[in-house]
Amino acid sequence: MSRLLFIEANDSTHQKKGISSHMNEAFLSSYRTHHPEDEIVVLNLFEERLPFFDLRLASAAAKLFRGESVDPDDDVPIGKLQEYLTGFLDSDKIVFSFPMWNLTVPAPLHNYMDYLAQAGQTFRYTAEGSIGLVKGKQVLLLHSRGGDYSTSDKADSEHAVRYMLDILRFFGIEDVQTIILEGHQQYPDRADELTKKALSACEKAGETF
């Protein structure tokens, strides 16, 4: 039995669901059907409302991982940091679902990755540079963006999937798959075609991931 951590960075708190939410549903429904024995943990980052990672939390985390005591009077969410880090490291498979917001990832997702980026836990420093410590995990990125960033003149402006690939590589994770729905707003006449193709890919990934 494997443990799947599904990290949702889509703001589904409003009434109208975005296309990312439909991609989530397509993947999860298929995954549950084809992997009935697996444990699935869904983490919605917008519902978590994490305090932003700051120097006080960074200092408290450094103390904790050096084996030093953290002052309980310090108003920092060190317990949440431990919870997210443990949940991430204990999972065999990890899915990140996120749209593009202003050329990059939504702020709650970037904040969550800052919580995970702890020296001695997900990476370590050496004289030759940093080395990732997270090995043996499968990761899938489910991503949607209304514009088409696959063309050479737009590719350099894409900082969402590229950021996620970079930070995961920084952690030591190399086995990363992607399903990207793009251009459904830029090409309204092809929106249904592009959406159906992406949802079909999500269903297939739920079977094989």
In this predicted model, what pLDDT tens digit does every residue of 52-76 receive, in sequence order?
999 989 999 988 888 888 876 666 8
Does residue 160 register a pLDDT over 90? yes
Q: Determine if residue 172 is left, alpha or beta; phi over 0 gives left, psi from -120 to 50 gives alpha, anything else beta.
A: left
Which amino acids are annotated as binding site for FMN, given as ranges? 100-103, 144-147
The pLDDT value given to residue 68: 85
In this predicted model, what pLDDT tens digit does every residue of 18-43 receive, in sequence order?
788 899 999 999 999 999 999 999 99
Number of H helices, E strands in the chain: 7, 7
- What pTM value is reported for the model? 0.93
Which amino acids are annotated as binding site, given as ranges? 100-103, 144-147
Does residue 195 register a pLDDT over 80? yes
What's the rounded Cα separation, in Å, for the pair 136 and 174?
9
Which residues on adjacent β-strands are paired with residue 144? Answer: 99, 181
Does residue 16 register a pLDDT over 80? no
What 3-state DSSP class applies to 119?
A: strand
What's the rounded Cα separation, in Å, for the pair 195 and 199?
6
Domains of the chain listed by start with CATH number: 3-208 (3.40.50.360)
Across the chain, mean pLDDT equals 92
Half-sphere exposure of 48 (CA within 13 A, CB side): 22
**Residue 10, Cβ density class (10 Å: 0-12 exposed, 13-18 middle, ≥19 buried):** buried
* Neighbouring C-beta atoms of residue 172, cutoff 10 Å: 17
109 closest CA partner among 12, 202, 10:
10
Tell me how many degrees the CA angle 63-69-75 measures, rounded to the nearest 5: 80
Does residue 15 register a pLDDT over 60? no
The pLDDT value given to residue 14: 60
